[in-house]
Structure 1
Amino acid sequence: MSSANPPTPTGAAALTAAQHRAVAELLRVSPVADELGRRFADAGFALHLVGGSVRDALLDRLGDDLDFCTDARPEDTLRIVQGWADAIWETGRDFGTIGVARRGLRLEITTYRAEAYDGVTRNPVVAYGDNLRDDLARRDFTVNAMAVSVPGREFTDPHGGLADLAARVLRTPGTPESSFGDDPLRMLRAARFAAQLRFAVDPAVRAAMAAMAADLDRITAERIRDEFTKLMRGADPVTGLRLLADTGLADRFLPELSGLKLEIDEHAQHKDVYEHTLTVVANAVRLEAGTGPDFVLRMAALMHDVGKPATKAVAGDGRVSFHHHEVVGARMTRLRMKAMRYPKDVIADVTGLVALHLRFYGYGRGEWTDSAVRRYVTDAGPLLSRLHLLTRSDCTTRNRRKAAALAADYDALEERIARIAAEEDLARVRPDLDGNAIMELLGVPPGPVVGQAWRYLKELRLERGPLTRDEAEEALRAWAAGRDG
């Protein structure tokens, strides 16, 4: 593998020769790339593995999605892959991209581009380029501005991406101001890569993010949502969140994050809500225990205390309270996620967790009956496993005795839930009589009375546990008699 413009990384951070060979080795064991490269070459066009695919290959984290760039126009690409691809999609054709499936791999082939924003509209204006170096120059960061030709294996790195990869730092190919002016979403992408790859952000890039944060307003809510979701699903979302707050980017689409930085004086006694929240997010990531990034859990951890600023009250002794902040926070979370265009089911799950996150506290005082446990499980429904994790994540006290006591209390609650679940069907707590049985027993047609009776029986089921048929019918008759009287 040759280098068109090799970087000169030095010292312990330098990439090894073995890492340099990683891309060539990738292509050697991936005949699909070589096959595709030869088809383009036979048609008189160049083809390069590019961007994140090269970066991830060097980091030994390449997936099944490969990105290529070419001097071929989309119509040429379609002609070249016809009869070779297992499937073809043209959803990105207006942006110069043709998608291809081949042997379990997803390939995106994009014509060299030179795209920019006009400073007013929210969508990029796409113009085709005519050479690889210009295409690389317009990419977001140097670590994404490397390419490997196929099938020739020529390595191109005009902006020192290898050196930055070795140093684990994010820089832009040109000036950050120029890059972010072309596409302001790149500022949010910097925070996303910091979270995903645990890379540091170059000071000049960070300064430009702070100075140009308002430019993010030109980007659609959907594009911001998608980048933010990737950030939250990253290996280290806390680093990305700190960067958003520190640069003011969060204020453009998630002002509740910075709003957690409540002023604390010597008389107002409460923990730092902002730092507490970031710790809860980190705890949630840790407690996922290899099950994969759970956006709903992480977002609930982030938003669980957003209602505190609006509910803060200081008593005469200096103690601070946040009464009903879970209710206010759930409402704020719903509005914010709706503005970010999240799907209704995702919004419902996150807001449900926020609303329930305080329910556990008080259990350790021995106040919970079996009825309270049933209500806890029923109200959580399919969110119960996440609620367990969120509640445990919310314990951030440095007092080891208090932390141990809270953990023991929640262990006891989970054991109690398991015991009751073994005796009853807690997953589906329903009345012991259905609607038809209620109508038959009371001699009433379908209508409001049936719904009222059903709700009464469900409350009775939660309070007393399963009833026999005779017990349920007796209770229903007594309810109807009291109602008639």
Structure 2
Amino acid sequence: MSKKIDVELNREHLIAQSPLNNFLSIFKDIAGIYNCHPYLTGGSVRDLLLNRKAKDWDIAVTGNIGKIAKVFSKKINGKCITLDEIFQTFRVIKGDLIFDFTTLRENDILEELRIRDYTVNALAIDLLNPASIIDPLGGLSDLEKRRIHLISPSALSSDPLRVLRAFRLAAELNFSIDEYTCLGLKTYAYLLEHVAKERIRQELDFLFSTSNVSYWLSEMGSLGIFKFILPEIEALKGVAQNDFHHLDVYEHSLLSLAYIERILGSPRRFFYTHLNRIDTYLKDPKCHVYLKWAALYHDLGKPACQVLGGKRTTFYGHDRVSAEIFSNIAKRLRFSKKNSDAITFLILHHMRPFYLLHIYQRATLTMRAIHRLVRAVGSHVIGLFLLAMADSLATKGDGKPKDYEEHLRSLFSHVMDVYESYLQIKERPRLVTGRDIQVWFGLPPCPKVGVLLKQVEMAQLSGEVSTKEEAKAWLENKMQDKYRVS
């Protein structure tokens, strides 16, 4: 349980302790000249009270909003951008500070706050009298109780995306969602089918950027919301697995997501070697999001691939089918190509560490098999083992071999040793070029040259060759055995 917020302590010097304090005199000057009234509203006030860094400053103003925003921008040497001409919303940017200007509806701050979504967002500060907080709906009380409370069901019917926003806010703030609000979310979730897919994906992106997405997705699922935004997840419910597992595919997927969050939060609890490489890989926040999506979606193909056998249920090829299904989801939700490709790659290859582990446990694993993996997946080898660890930890059936995670850790160490060698070789000049191969063997430019280049690289990685002369001799033997040239 998070500590209670001392709202009274934060309230006393709320504006004085924020970057906004430097601009109060400008707001007062503009108000005097243009007979307007500016208020700080919504999430900006909430974040100030919670001692969170505000992402932007939401300013609601009476009067000619376009003129006011442009004058404010000029006075602070900022840049003014029109966000929406019809609804008259403007953005002023000054360095890393963002001010979003909107027209105060009905010229009444109380009416403005009553049509907000949740009480913690229905707070305002009069920038001409910043000592007091305007709180007509009990937002301060809900902040102290750490809960998300819906102002009115009409907030959801007017913009159904607010259904997802409740979960995102709860995850970001580490708040609960009260029963009244949950009932509203469940009742109006069907309207999400009419929301633009880009908006849904953006809200999910925000949710997946938090550190507790697994819990809130589980809550979302219990309220029946998946069928309106991610029906492919809903389809996993009740799909039985083999004795390796203790959960159906739906619960296993959510538990895998929970474990990947734990691993991302503290990799050293789960891996004991090559920690600097893991840290470097995880420095990119997008890797965290990619792994969370992959953990949730890695078994999407199991319903289509399920074969009920005598002793064991199988799901052969589910990795490929899962990747195909996610690719279609990514298109529907308008993922960027970069993000879609990265997540699809992790899903497509998520079984490869387990294939190697199966061979490793039988003491028949070859260096060449490790080389093939490293060369095929590159730096994603780290992500694939993190994902495999989460997948394994979420699997606790009676048929699961003993010490499985310990063996997975040991395999990871071996694979990463090879990966380190691979990186060193990649930094060196190539032993052999495509032109060398063409001259040596009288080959024209063709795919065969590329195949031979890759094989030389594998031989170099395994220590079979280390000079150009050795590479040529190795290739000559290879050509005699497999690529006879007439």
TM-score bracket relative to the smaller structure: 0.7 to 0.9
Of residues 83, 86, 100, the one that matches 1:92 is 83
CA distance in 2, matches of 1:423, 1:170: 51
Contact 1:197 1:235 in 2 (8 A): no
1:47-77 Cα offsets, whole Å, 9 max, x none, are 1111111111111212352222111333222
Q: Which residue of 2 aligns with 1:109?
A: 101
Three-state SS of the structure 1 residue aligned to 2:117 is coil
1:476 aligns with 2:475: yes
CA contact (8 A) 1:433 1:472 kept: yes
SS in 2 for 1:323: coil
User: Contact conserved, 1:262 with 1:274, CA < 8 A, in 2?
Assistant: yes
Which residue pairs with 2:410 in the alignment? 412
Aligned to 2:364: 367
The letter of the residue matching 1:378 is: R
Name the SS for the 2:93 alignment partner.
Answer: strand
User: Does structure 2 conserve the Cα–Cα contact (< 8 Å) formed by 1:305 and 1:326?
Assistant: yes
Instruction: Say if 1:263 and 1:350 are closer, same or farther in 2 by CA, change over 3 A.
Output: closer
**8 A contact 1:89–1:100 mirrored in 2:** yes
The corresponding residue for 2:140 is 162
- More displaced stretch, 260-269 vs 213-222: 260-269
| Native 8 Å contact 1:141 1:172 kept in 2 | yes
Work out whether 1:38 is the aligned partner of 2:35: no
Distance 1:222 1:14, change over 3 A: closer
* Range moving further from structure 2, 46-55 or 103-112: 103-112
Q: Deviations over 1:251-286 (max 9, x none)?
A: 122112222212559999752322222222122222
Give the 3-state SS of the residue equivalent to 1:483 in structure 2. Answer: coil
User: 2:425 and 2:142 mapped to 1: Cα distance?
Assistant: 52
**Which of 68, 81, 86 is equivalent to 1:77?**
68
Cα distance in 1, alignment partners of residues 211 and 458 from structure 2: 43
Whole-angstrom CA distance in 2 between matches of 1:381 and 1:266: 31
Bigger shift: 447-456 or 130-139?
Answer: 447-456
Q: How does 1:44-83 map to 2 (within 5 A)?
A: 44-83=35-74
Q: Is this contact kept in 1: 2:89–2:100, CA < 8 A?
A: yes
Q: Which of 113, 116, 120 is 1:139 aligned to?
A: 116
Q: 2:326 aligns with which of 317, 330, 333?
A: 333
Aligned residue number for residue 278 of structure 1: 254
Q: Secondary structure at the match of 2:469?
A: helix
Answer whether contact 1:378 1:426 (CA < 8 A) is retained. no
In structure 1, C-alpha distance between the alignment counterparts of 2:138 and 2:263, rounded to whole Å: 38
Q: Distance in 2 between matches of 1:151 and 1:364?
A: 71
Q: 1:149 to 1:200 in 2, by over 3 A?
A: same
SS in 2 for 1:394: helix
TM-score by length of 1: 0.84
Shift of 1:377: 1.6
CA distance in 1, matches of 2:361, 2:13: 55
Match of residue 232, structure 1, among 184, 208, 217:
208
The one-letter amino acid of 1:454's match is L
Match of 1:205 in 2: 181
Cα separation, 2, equivalents of 1:223 and 1:376: 37
| Map of 1:251 onto structure 2 | 227
CA distance 1:271–1:93, change in 2 (3 Å): closer
How much does 1:387 deviate? 1.8
Work out the CA distance in 1 between the residues paired with 2:330 and 2:96: 34
> 1-side partners of 2:110 and 2:240: how far apart?
52
The DSSP-based 3-state class of the residue aligned with 2:347 is helix
Cα drift, residue 305 of structure 1 = 1.4
**CA positional deviation for 1:462:** 6.4
The gaps in structure 1 that reach 5 residues or longer are 1-11, 114-128
Partner of 2:273: none
User: Which of 284, 290, 295 is equivalent to 1:296?
Assistant: 290
- Asked whether the 8 Å contact 1:194–1:239 carries over to 2, the reply is no
Query: Which stretches of structure 1, 4 residues or longer, exceed 6 Å deviation after superposition?
Result: 265-269, 399-404
Deviation for aligned residue 1:409: 2.0
- Distance in 1 of aligned mates of 2:425 and 2:187: 51
Distance 2:27 2:4 in 1: 32
Distance in 1, matches of 2:254 and 2:110, equals 40
Contact 1:73 1:96 survives alignment (8 Å): no
Map residues 359-398 of structure 1 onto 2, 5 A cutoff.
Answer: 359-361=352-354, 362=358, 363-396=360-393, 397-398=395-396
Aligned match of 2:302 in 308, 327, 330?
308
Q: Secondary structure at the match of 1:386?
A: helix
Q: Which amino acid aligns with 1:409?
A: H
Using the TM superposition, name which of 422-431 and 145-154 deviates more.
Answer: 422-431
Q: Using a 3 Å threshold, how does the CA distance of structure 1 residues 88 and 368 change in structure 2: closer, same or farther?
A: same
Three-state SS of the structure 2 residue aligned to 1:415 is helix
Query: C-alpha displacement at 1:161, in angstroms?
Result: 0.8
Q: Secondary structure of 1:234's match? A: coil
By how many angstroms is 1:350 displaced?
0.7
- Mapped to 2, the partners of 1:287 and 1:322 lie a distance apart of 26
Amino acid at match of 1:157: D
Query: Contact 2:61/2:103 (CA < 8 Å) preserved in 1?
Result: yes
Query: What amino acid maps onto 1:225 in structure 2?
Result: R
> Quick check: 1:346 aligned with 2:323?
no
SS of equivalent to 1:194 = helix
Over 3 Å counting, the alpha-carbon distance change for 1:265 and 1:31 in structure 2 is: closer
* Cα pair 1:67 1:109 within 8 Å, conserved: yes
Deviations 1:447-480 (A, max 9, x none): 3443444355456556765553223222333444
Deviation at 1:230, TM superposition (A): 0.5
Q: How does 1:256-275 map to 2 (within 5 A)?
A: 256-264=232-240, 271-275=247-251
* Structure 2 SS opposite 1:357: coil
What amino acid is aligned across from residue 102 of structure 1 in structure 2? K
Q: Which moved more, 1:321-330 or 1:413-422?
A: 413-422
Distance 1:403 1:199 in 2: 39
How many angstroms does 1:341 deviate by? 0.6
Q: Which residue of 2 aligns with 1:123?
A: none
Q: Do the aligned partners of 1:23 and 1:148 also contact (CA within 8 Å) in 2?
A: no
**8 Å contact 2:7–2:144 — kept in the other structure?**
no
* 1-structure distance, mates of 2:250, 2:125: 44
User: 5+ residue gaps in structure 2?
Assistant: 267-282
Partner-residue secondary structure (3-state), 1:172: coil
Question: 1:149 maps to what in 2?
Answer: 126
What is the deviation of 1:19?
3.6
